[in-house]
Amino acid sequence: MGKNTGFKEFSRATVPYRDAADRLVDYREIYTDPEASHLQTQGARCMDCGVPFCQSDHGCPIFNLIPEWNDLVYRGDWHEALHRLHKTNNFPEFTGRVCPAPCEGACVLGITDPAVTIKNIESAIIDKGFEAGWVQANPPSQRTDKTIAIVGSGPCGLAAAAQLNQAGHRVTVHERSDRLGGLLMYGIPNMKLDKYLIERRIQLLRDEGVTFLTNSDIGHSIPLLNLVRDHDAVLLATGSTLARDLDIEGRQGAGVHLAMDFLTASTKSMLDSDFQDGNYISAKDKKIIVIGGGDTGTDCIATSLRHGCKSLVNFEILAQPPEHRAENNPWPLWPIIHRLDYGHTESAHLFGKDPRVYSVLSKKILRSDNGALTGIVTVDVDHQFNELPGSQRTWQADLILLSMGFLQPEHYLIESVTMELDNRGNFQANKTDFRTSIDKVYAAADCRRGQDLVVRAINEGRQAARSIDTDLMGSSQLP
């Protein structure tokens, strides 16, 4: 695969982001356009490794044919590379931007050298495909008499809709928000995933025959029981949207918000009016504290910086990860190492340092006599989260954003039926057939397994589609 000696000849070189000073003044994507020659050189680093762990269970959750399209890019056959990429991934323009790339963590070359830049190559293949006009709507040649309702238009719901539509079924996707895309639309800022890319892909699905309904809040505006009665199958792809809150003194009151409320309002205001309507939680001239890390925490950091915050601190309850893999974190497991994401480098550019403070536990939110937020009290903890005596600190804050993950799907959706839940409050369904305890109702991705990656949501959407198709037709030709 690639050039036989490429991994020896060439060093890893990722496609750089736009300069921090430039990108902080707008909401355009942070990425730069790579040269084809650069990507061909990076594709040449892909080894003939025998067992490509990049597409194993430890690597790509959708089992992308990574060595194949690395080799094709190296050889300059971009059209065939796109064909191979679309065999396993409905939306590489999404994963090529927002996926943390477990494939790179499992790259065999990564045992001794930096991994192949798989994510960069994936993103470039699909971008070139759209630019060249190779990505076109492909409606199914025949239709069945089966109708399917999908609840949720995030990556899982969209992937399932794409697959079931290709099988010839009539698919309707219900989205409770005013725009389609779920987490992709309102949970990820525009600078990381331009909303045009989502709208472009959804228009292709429309052209292929998928029906989309916005402001269709199943469980509120329409009982789930009605969907079950009126369709041959219903797929729940709602995500895990009940956020983990912070149960400490002073939590209730102005100035403390869930991360997703902050991000959603910001993106919606940007799309509706370029922020002219004022319908968002502004960080301008405020002292910001983001509690919790991960991608969502980073997105809160980057959005606050673009609003024009006065200062910014990010609390992490975990200890700072090591620079390199620890002995108990061997290849091909996902490397738990210290990383600088785009928001961290932007904060360092403005304020001179990484905003993260590690091993910190929030104890009490401080408020003035009139209830206004003034700060927060923390204590340092050890690796077992035991509080360290004498480590209490007080931090000033005008706005606190809670980015501590999600617990489970919202249950109002299933009030009209009696559905079994697992011990974490997810919709009970196994990964073999994705069936719930309700006849004709299936569940996939985060609402079934808990909060996870976009790429895993796409995978489960595809697998659930195959299961539904099999149940409806007796067999399935879907991959």
**For position 336, what pLDDT does the model report?**
95
- pTM (global) more than 0.85: yes
CA distance 470 to 435: 12
CA distance 38 to 58: 27
**For position 8, what pLDDT does the model report?**
93
The mean pLDDT of 213-221, rounded to a whole number, is 97
Q: For residue 407, what are its two tokens?
A: 């617990």
Per CATH, the number for 6-131 is: 1.10.1060.10
**For position 175, what pLDDT does the model report?**
98
Using alpha carbons, list the distances in angstroms from residue 231 to 24, 169, 440, 442.
47, 11, 8, 12
Could you write out the DSSP letters of every residue in 315-336? E-SSPPPPSS--TTS-TTSPP-
CA distance 322 to 314: 18
Do the two domains 147-241+407-473 and 245-404 of this chain adopt the same fold? yes
Match domain 147-241+407-473 to its CATH number in 3.50.50.60, 2.120.10.30, 3.30.750.80, 1.20.1280.290. 3.50.50.60
Per-residue pLDDT band for 272 (boundaries 50, 70, 90) equals very high
Per-residue pLDDT band for 50 (boundaries 50, 70, 90) equals confident
Indicate if the pLDDT at residue 183 is higher than 70: yes
CB contact at 8 A, 189 and 403:
no
What are the extents of the domains in the chain?
Answer: 6-131, 147-241+407-473, 245-404
**For position 4, what pLDDT does the model report?**
87
Q: In a 3-state reduction of DSSP, which class is residue 395?
A: strand
Mean pLDDT, all residues of the chain: 97
Q: For residue 473, what are its two tokens?
A: 């037709």
Residue range 254-266, pLDDT digits in tens:
999 999 999 999 9
Per-residue pLDDT band for 1 (boundaries 50, 70, 90) equals low
Residue range 112-160, pLDDT digits in tens:
999 999 999 999 999 999 999 999 999 999 999 999 999 999 999 999 9
Indicate if the pLDDT at residue 106 is higher than 70: yes
> For 245-404, which CATH class?
alpha beta
Q: Is 286 exposed, middle or buried (0-12, 13-18, 19+ CB in 10 A)?
A: buried
Per-residue pLDDT band for 211 (boundaries 50, 70, 90) equals very high
